[in-house]
């Protein structure tokens, strides 16, 4: 039996559900956290532990970045607040990647905080306990990988059987006990209306405006429909009666708002089960929609840039690009961090802009541009490259060529008898859909590239006349031209302002120059 310490006066309780707990709850075995809480409180009473704080992790996730309560606990442990942390098992603290495991062990070791479970006490100052905890962390990570692999295999097999394995059924469908999709009487007509409008040549923006005007709730329950929501519905093969799984790969990241980044998966990892359920769009309507989308690729209207600091200034705490928020009935606008919960405090946009200009004028005083044509040509090339439109255009062209090759390969495979006619038609339809989407993106990229060069030419002409860039900045009214002018000299700016910094001009800027 473990040699448990007694009479501890500063102990924290940490509770977290695992996947096995969720499955047990679904089988009707009771609420997990309540059972664990009763067990640990009884354990604490037995050894006379004083519980200072209780941390209950409601959200799922193995990574520390996904678990706010774990982050709070680790901050308190690092501050030396507790003598011990009491939990059901050591892998409840985390069985994520090696970076997370190393962080947890280092914090508990250096703060001399015990980890106590009903099975064992871990004192990471003791070499044997440290090695044992590392071994258990390794086994927990291995078990997690095995569980994840089995779950992915099960989902893949379910998709091959025509079952819906997404977190919730697609908009327009309900899911029965066998996980197959059935049309939802309430929302299926909305999907059919979307395809009918698209078949008449209506774009995603007009359709979203129409649905919003009718007062129909969006799939997220909002009163407003987004263009992207309409586009995702039109591009989803589920409405043709097919099940698609593994189309995207998701990777956890701390940079995104939802914690995930997404990219298209490799072709061999994707699953497509054709004719798995009742389609909501008939073949004639879908063919009309595809024909209209090819003839009239929708290019969104370019919005006029209103923020001269766009893409230049980032939050020192979370790394997100700062945003300008227009304020009414006030003589100033606001500069804010868009990350929910970020503690960086905003301030007056105009004060930040003025300080940036003053710093540039002091640092780069005396710099001017001549009317030399070679220098102006160099300026245009630099502006074009810095916008990134050229690289984007080249990437889209390469992808377009790759899909053309896939189409050629598809024809060769059907000629060799590798594909039957049904599979060939479906694969061809999917590739043509992707091709149409790419052609639309190429059209947009071409427009953006031309606009970028036009802005560069305007800036070149203005500098040839004025010579002094700061005079040009103060006299010109175009925010887009001001933004391009700043990007000639500035790589990026880091903004910092703490919550207790009261005056609006109390903020810090770190300006990284290109020169």
Structural tokens at position 55: 């941390």
Selected residue with higher pLDDT from 460 and 200: 200
Mind listing the pLDDT tens digit for each residue in 468-508?
Answer: 666 667 776 678 778 877 887 788 899 999 999 989 999 99
Query: Average pLDDT of the chain?
Result: 77
Give the start-end residues of each E strand in 157-230: 173-175, 181-183
Helix (H) or strand (E) holding 439: helix 421-466
Report DSSP state, residue 336.
E
In which band, very low, low, confident or very high, does the pLDDT at 193 lie, cut at 50, 70 and 90? very high
pLDDT at 274: 81
Q: 6 in helix, strand or coil? A: coil
| CA–CA distance, 262 with 255 (Å, rounded to integer) | 12
DSSP readout, 348-372? EHHHHHHHHHHHHHHHSTT------
Q: How confident is the model at residue 372 (pLDDT cuts 50, 70, 90)?
A: very low
367 pLDDT band, cuts 50/70/90, is low
Q: Does residue 373 have a pLDDT over 70?
A: no
Positive/negative CA dihedral, 419, 422, 424, 427: negative
User: How many CB atoms lie under 10 A from the CB of residue 514?
Assistant: 11
- Summarize the confidence of residues 399-415 as an average pLDDT: 74
Could you tell me the two tokens for 301?
């209207």
Q: Collapsing DSSP states into helix, strand and coil, what is residue 327?
A: coil
Question: What mean pLDDT is predicted for residues 261-269?
Answer: 59
d(CA 309, CA 352): 10
User: 89-101: per-residue pLDDT in tens?
Assistant: 887 777 666 667 7
Task: Among 3.40.50.1390, 1.10.287.130, 1.10.472.10, 3.60.15.10, name the CATH number for the domain at 11-157.
Answer: 3.40.50.1390
Cα–Cα distance measured from residue 487 to residue 295, given in angstroms and rounded to the nearest whole number: 38
Round to whole Å and give the CA distance between 480 and 459: 10
pLDDT in tens, 141-160: 777 677 777 777 887 888 88
Cβ contact 77:111 at 8 Å: yes
* Cα 200 to chain centroid, rounded: 34
pLDDT exceeds 70 at position 114: yes
Residues of the chain with CATH 3.40.50.1390: 11-157
pLDDT at 291 (0 to 100): 81
Q: Is the pLDDT of residue 370 over 60?
A: no
Max Cα–Cα distance, the chain, nearest Å:
86
Beta strand 11-16 with 51-57: parallel, antiparallel or unpaired? parallel
Confidence (pLDDT) at 248:
63
Q: For residue range 213-259, list pLDDT tens digits in order.
A: 888 899 988 888 888 889 889 988 889 888 887 766 666 554 444 45
Angstrom distance (rounded) from CA 188 to CA 101: 47
More confident residue, 193 or 443: 193
Q: Is 162 left (phi over 0), alpha (psi -120 to 50) or beta?
A: left
Burial of 429 (0-12, 13-18, 19+ CB in 10 A): middle
Res. 88: pLDDT tops 80: yes
Which residue is associated with the tokens 């060799």? Answer: 416
pLDDT bracket for residue 35 (50, 70, 90): confident
Fold of 173-292: Hect, E3 ligase catalytic domain fold (3.90.1750)
Residues of CATH 3.90.1750 domain(s) within the chain? 173-292
Distance from C-alpha of 176 to C-alpha of 494, rounded to nearest angstrom: 52
């Amino acid at each position: 039996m473990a040699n448990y310490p007694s009479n501890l006066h500063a102990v924290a309780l940490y509770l977290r559900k695992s996947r096995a707990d969720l499955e047990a709850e679904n089988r009707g075995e009771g609420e997990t956290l309540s059972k664990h809480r009763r067990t640990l409180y009884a354990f604490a009473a037995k050894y006379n532990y004083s519980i200072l704080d209780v941390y209950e992790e409601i959200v799922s996730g193995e990574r520390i970045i996904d678990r706010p309560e774990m982050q709070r606990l680790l901050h308190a442990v690092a501050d030396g607040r507790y003598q011990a942390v009491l939990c059901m098992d050591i892998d409840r603290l985390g069985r994520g990647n090696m970076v997370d495991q190393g962080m947890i062990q280092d914090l508990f070791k250096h703060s001399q905080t015990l980890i106590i479970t009903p099975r064992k006490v871990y004192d990471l100052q003791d070499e044997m306990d440290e090695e044992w905890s590392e071994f258990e962390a390794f086994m927990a990570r291995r078990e997690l990988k095995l569980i994840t692999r089995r779950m992915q295999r099960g989902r893949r097999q379910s998709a091959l059987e025509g079952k819906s394995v997404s977190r919730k059924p697609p908009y327009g469908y309900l899911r029965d006990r066998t996980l197959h999709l059935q049309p939802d009487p309430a929302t299926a007509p909305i999907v059919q209306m979307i395809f009918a409008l698209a078949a008449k040549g209506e774009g995603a923006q007009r359709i979203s405006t129409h649905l919003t005007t009718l007062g129909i709730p969006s799939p997220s329950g909002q009163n407003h429909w987004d263009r992207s929501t309409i586009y995702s519905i039109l591009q989803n093969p589920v409405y043709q009666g097919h099940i698609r799984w593994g189309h995207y790969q998701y990777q956890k990241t701390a940079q995104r708002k939802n914690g995930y980044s997404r990219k298209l998966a490799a072709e061999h990892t994707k699953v497509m089960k054709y004719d798995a359920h009742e389609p909501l769009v008939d073949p004639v309507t879908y063919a009309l929609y595809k024909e209209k989308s090819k003839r009239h690729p929708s290019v969104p209207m370019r919005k006029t840039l209103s923020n001269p600091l766009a893409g230049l200034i980032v939050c020192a705490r979370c790394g997100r690009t700062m945003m300008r928020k227009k304020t009414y009935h006030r003589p100033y606008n606001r500069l804010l961090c868009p990350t929910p919960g970020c503690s960086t405090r905003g301030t007056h946009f105009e004060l930040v802009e003025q300080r940036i200009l003053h710093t540039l004028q002091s640092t780069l005083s005396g710099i001017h541009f001549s009317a030399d044509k070679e220098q102006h040509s160099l300026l245009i090339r630099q502006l074009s490259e810095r916008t990134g439109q050229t690289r984007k255009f080249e990437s889209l062209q390469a992808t377009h060529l790759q899909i053309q090759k896939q189409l050629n390969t598809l024809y060769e495979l059907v000629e060799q008898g590798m594909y039957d006619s049904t599979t060939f038609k479906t694969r061809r339809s999917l590739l043509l859909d992707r091709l149409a989407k790419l052609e639309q993106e190429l059209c947009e990229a071409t427009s953006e590239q031309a606009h970028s060069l036009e802005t560069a030419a305007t800036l070149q002409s203005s500098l040839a006349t004025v010579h002094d860039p700061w005079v040009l900045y103060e006299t010109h009214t175009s925010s887009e031209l001001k933004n391009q002018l700043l990007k000639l000299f500035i790589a990026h700016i880091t903004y910092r302002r703490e919550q207790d910094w009261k005056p609006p001009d109390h903020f810090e800027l770190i300006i990284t120059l290109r020169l």
